[in-house]
Amino acid sequence: MTDMMDTSANAPRRTSLKGNSALVARRKRRERLLMGVGLGAILIAFTVLFILVASLVSTGYTAFVQTQVTLDVHVDPAEISEEQLPRGGFQNVLTRSVLDLLPDADPETDLRAVRGILSNGAQFALRDQVAADPSLIGQTITLTVPLSDPYDQLNKGNINRDTPESERRLNDQAVVWFDQLDQAGRISTPFNWALFTNADSRFPELAGLKGALVGSFWVLFICFAVSFPVGIGAAIYLEEFAPKNRVSDFIEVNINNLAAVPSVVFGLLALAVFLNWFGLPRSAPFVGGLTLALMTMPTIIIATRAALKAVPPSIREAALGLGASKQQVVFGHVLPLAMPGILTGTIIGLAQALGETAPLLLIGMNAFITSAPTSPFDASTALPTQIFIWADSPERGFVSRTSAAILVLLGFLVIMNALAIYLRNRFERRW
C-alpha cells in the first residue's frame, strides 16, 4: 500500500497483499514482541509474589512447632518449700533433672551450659504447677518444657552442624548433649500453641501473638464501631439528601483527598490531637481504632455511595408513590437493598486497616508489653506493629516468628477478603 506513491516505476505495480508479505510478517513480529513483553511483565509480577510467599513460608513454618523436652523432675523439698511459694529453686531442680539425662556432663563446671538448654520460661511452668498443687513437693513429676532458642533452631535445622564450631551458636558439646536427649526419646516438636496463647517476650521461644491479636481485635472493633455508622450516615446524606451546591462539592473533594493522604499523616494527627490535646492514653487500642477509623471512613463512604447509586430509581419511586417520606424510602428500602455492597466495602476497608502500621507506630503501639490488654484503654501492640517489633529483633528465632506472624496476618486478610467476595456474590443483586 505504501508503494502506491512510487510513480516513477513504469511497470504496473502488483497490488496483491502477497507482495508485502515481508512487511506484514515484520509487523506481526512486532505485535508478538509487544505481546511477549507484556506477558513477561506479568510473569515478573507473579514471580515476585511467588518469591514473597515462598520466603515467608520457608522461614515461617518452623515457628508453628516448638521443640520441647520431657523431664522427670524430682521436686526437691530442700530447694522448694511450701512456705516460700511461689519462690523457690525451680531452676536448680530443673537443671538437675536435665543433668540426670546427660551422663557426661559435669554437675559443677557444666551447670551454666546445661541450664541454658532449657527455655527461661521452663521454671515458671514448674512454679505455676507446684504453686497450684503444693502436694507435688517431694514427688517426681513428668514435665514437658520448651527448649531455649539455640537448641530449638538446631532441632529445626536452622543451625548447620557442618559449620565450624567457632562460627556456630552452639558448640560441639551442646550438639552432643542435644543428640543424647534426642536419642533418649525426650525431644518432641508439637504444634506451637504458645504462639497464640503467649504475649510478647524477650525470649523468642516464649514470644507469642496473644497481645497483638487481642490488641488488633480492639483496634478493629473501635474502628468499625466509629467508621461504619459515621461513614454510612455521611454517604446517605451526600448521596440522597444533600443539595447540589458548593458545600456538598467541597465535602466530596475533601473525602476524595482524605482517601489519598499518606497514612503517616493520620498518625501525626492522632499524636497531636488525640494524645497531646485530649490527653488520651498512649499505646491504647482505643486511640489506634479512632485513628484508623478516620482513615477507613473515606473508603466506606465511597463504597456506600456506589452501593446506593446502584439501587434503581424505580424502587424509590414506588415507595414515594405509596406515600413514604424521603427518609422512609431511604431507610426502609434503599439502604437494606444496598447493604451487601456496603458490607463488602466495609470489610475491604477494615482489611486495609488491619494491615496499617505507620499511624500505630506514632501513637506508641510498638511498646514492649508482656501481657494481653484487658480493655481498649490498656497499652498494647497490634499484629502489624508486633511484626515490626520482631523484625527489628536480632535473635535468629525472631526471624521465623516474624514470618509466622506475617502468615497469621495474611491469613486474616485472606479470610476477610473471601468473606467480602462471598457477600458480594451471594447477596448482591443485579437490576
Residues 383-412 that bind other proteins (CB under 8 A): 384, 387-388, 391, 399, 402-403, 406, 409-410
Q: Which is nearer to other proteins, 94 or 354 (CB)?
A: 354
How many residues would you count in the chain? 431
CB 8 to other proteins: min, Å: 25
CB hemisphere CA count around 254 (13 angstroms): 10
Q: Which is nearer to other proteins, 99 or 273 (CB)?
A: 273
Q: Which is nearer to other proteins, 37 or 78 (CB)?
A: 37
Single out the residue of 217, 391, 236 nearest to residue 300, CA to CA: 236
CB 255 to other proteins: min, Å: 5
Q: Which is nearer to other proteins, 177 or 388 (CB)?
A: 388
Binders of other proteins in range 282-311 (CB under 8 A): 282, 294, 297-298, 301
109-142: b (≥16 Cβ within 10 Å) or e: ebeeebbbbbbbbbbbbbbeebbeeeebbeeeee
CB 391 to other proteins: min, Å: 5
Which string of x and - marks every residue 220-259 that binds other proteins (by CB under 8 A)? ---------xxxxxx-xxx--xx-------xx--xxxxx-
Task: DSSP for 159-215, please give it.
Answer: S-TTS-GGGSSS-HHHHHHHHHHHHTT-EE--B-THHHHS---SSTTT--SHHHHHH
Given 273, 315, 339, 419, the residue binding other proteins (CB under 8 A):
273
Span interacting with other proteins, options 37-45, 140-148, 170-178, 204-212, rule CB under 8 A: 37-45
Q: Which is nearer to other proteins, 267 or 397 (CB)?
A: 267
- What's CA 300's distance to the chain center, in Å? 22
For residue 171, give the C-alpha cell.
558448640
Q: Which is nearer to other proteins, 145 or 363 (CB)?
A: 363
- Give residues with Cβ within 8 angstroms of 43, minimum separation 6: none
- Give residues with Cβ within 8 angstroms of 163, minimum separation 6: none
CB 220 to other proteins: min, Å: 14
3-state DSSP helix/strand/coil percent for the chain, to nearest 5? 65, 5, 30
For residue 78, give the C-alpha cell.
530442700
CB 204 to other proteins: min, Å: 16
CB 73 to other proteins: min, Å: 34
Q: Which is nearer to other proteins, 1 or 11 (CB)?
A: 1
Binders of other proteins in range 363-382 (CB under 8 A): 364, 366
Task: DSSP for 412-424, please give it.
Answer: HHHHHHHHHHHHH
Span interacting with other proteins, options 80-88, 109-117, 265-273, 313-321, rule CB under 8 A: 265-273
CB 30 to other proteins: min, Å: 6
Which string of x and - marks every residue 38-77 that binds other proteins (by CB under 8 A)? xxxxx-xxx-xx-xx--xx--x------------------
Single out the residue of 250, 270, 420 nearest to residue 345, CA to CA: 420
Given 91, 188, 189, 263, the residue binding other proteins (CB under 8 A):
263
Binders of other proteins in range 154-213 (CB under 8 A): none
Residue 150: strand, helix, or coil? helix
The one-character DSSP state at 375 is: S
Single out the residue of 167, 159, 162, 71 nearest to residue 114, CA to CA: 71
Task: DSSP for 294-355, please give it.
Answer: HHHHHHHHHHHHHHHHHS-HHHHHHHHHTT--HHHHIIIIIHHHHHHHHHHHHHHHHHHHHH
Q: Which is nearer to other proteins, 253 or 318 (CB)?
A: 253
Q: Which is nearer to other proteins, 121 or 231 (CB)?
A: 231
